[in-house]
Amino acid sequence: MNAPVNSPKLYDCRDAFAATLERLAAEDETVVAVCNDSVGSSKLGGFKSRFPARLVNVGIAEQNMVGVGAGLANGGRIPFVCGASPFLTGRSLEQIKADISYSNANVKLVGISSGMAYGELGPTHHSIEDFAWTRVLPNLPVIAPCDRIETAAAIEWAAKYEGPCFLRLSRVGVPDLLPESHKFELGKANLLREGSDVTLIANGTLTHRMVKAAEILAERNISARVLNLATVRPIDEAAIIEAARETGAIVTAEEHSVFGGLGSAVAEVVVDYAPVPMKRLGVPGIYAPTGSAEFLLDEFGMSPVAIADAAQALIKRK
């Protein structure tokens, strides 16, 4: 099927990750990559060709992979530990806690194909718990870039950051939302659209859907603010509090369970500092069925129209 004439070009954030990592490795010989037999899905083919001695493929052994990353960090390297997010986080959570977070190891964890990007492979391959698992750990910034530009900026930031972090990347194509000059700042929200009636908050693949929802609301004479909250921890409390006080209602959407993810993180700030009506959109505490990522997001009420409808209904509770 041909794409609509005016549809924006979509980009795979993994390409931006791989290109940036290769550039950083060319500039700094301490930058290395570790993966779990995922050279292809992590887009590390170019890295392997250019720096074969600096790519460690441990095979399907995620717990070992995290330990190898910690050891490389202790040896003065800057390891980017890459793997499918459900297995990097779920299978290795104890190692991430002890070897990375507790030890404050300078390891960059990169969860590839997060959310429901592996939709057709079913619940075992869905990564709708990784925000909850990682954001509870001390010393571990949790980041989900919204487009290729923010992905490249976040990878560049991570290489310079002295400490561990978790970067959550999807394989689902998304349009550009931020300017090419964008510089990633940890814990800082990006205001994508001004608005006074309701605030829409998302990150990752949901951000562009929030922008579309705001456009639909504008057609209904409703003014929606849109915040890209790429950093789930540390979260931008000031931006959330300001949005709550100025718009009086907040809708969050995420490719994650509604328990423990972005919506929960925003709600924690709202209930402490600026209580207003909220609606958290996401996977409602069930194992998502098998289907494409696009189908599943729509199925769970996160199409642009459904988001707009949820926001309009929430405004009535103000």
Total structural domains within the chain: 2
Residue 255 belongs to a domain? yes
Please state, in angstroms and rounded to a whole number, the distance separating the CA atoms of residues 114 and 104: 24
* 156 shares its domain with 219: no
Secondary structure element (H or E) that encloses residue 134, with its range: helix 130-135
* pLDDT for position 40: 85
Cis, peptide link before residue 284, omega less than 30° from 0: no
Please state, in angstroms and rounded to a whole number, the distance separating the CA atoms of residues 162 and 241: 29
Q: Name the nearest CA neighbour of 262 among 230, 224, 294, 239.
A: 230
- For residue 126, give its domain range: 11-174
The one-letter code for the residue type at 251 is: V
Residue 92 belongs to a domain? yes
Q: Which residue is listed with tokens 């050279």?
A: 39
For residues 232 and 265, the answer to whether their CB atoms sit within 8 Å is yes
* pLDDT for position 1: 33
pLDDT, average across residues 157-166: 98
* 136 shares its domain with 216: no
Structure-derived torsion over alpha carbons of residues 81, 84, 85, 89, reported in degrees to the nearest 10 = -60
Please state, in angstroms and rounded to a whole number, the distance separating the CA atoms of residues 132 and 119: 20
Q: Name the pLDDT band for 7 (thresholds 50, 70, 90).
A: confident
Domain containing 17 — which CATH number? 3.40.50.970
Residue 106 belongs to a domain? yes
Residue 9 burial (10 A CB sphere; 0-12, 13-18, 19+): exposed
Residue 147 belongs to a domain? yes
For the cut 70, the answer to whether the pLDDT of residue 284 exceeds it is: yes
* 139 shares its domain with 259: no
* 52 shares its domain with 160: yes
Residues counted in the chain: 318
pLDDT digits (tens, 9 = 90+) for 163-221: 999 999 999 999 999 999 999 999 999 999 999 999 999 999 999 999 999 999 999 99
* 120 shares its domain with 32: yes
pLDDT digits (tens, 9 = 90+) for 219-266: 999 999 999 999 999 999 999 999 999 999 999 999 999 999 999 999
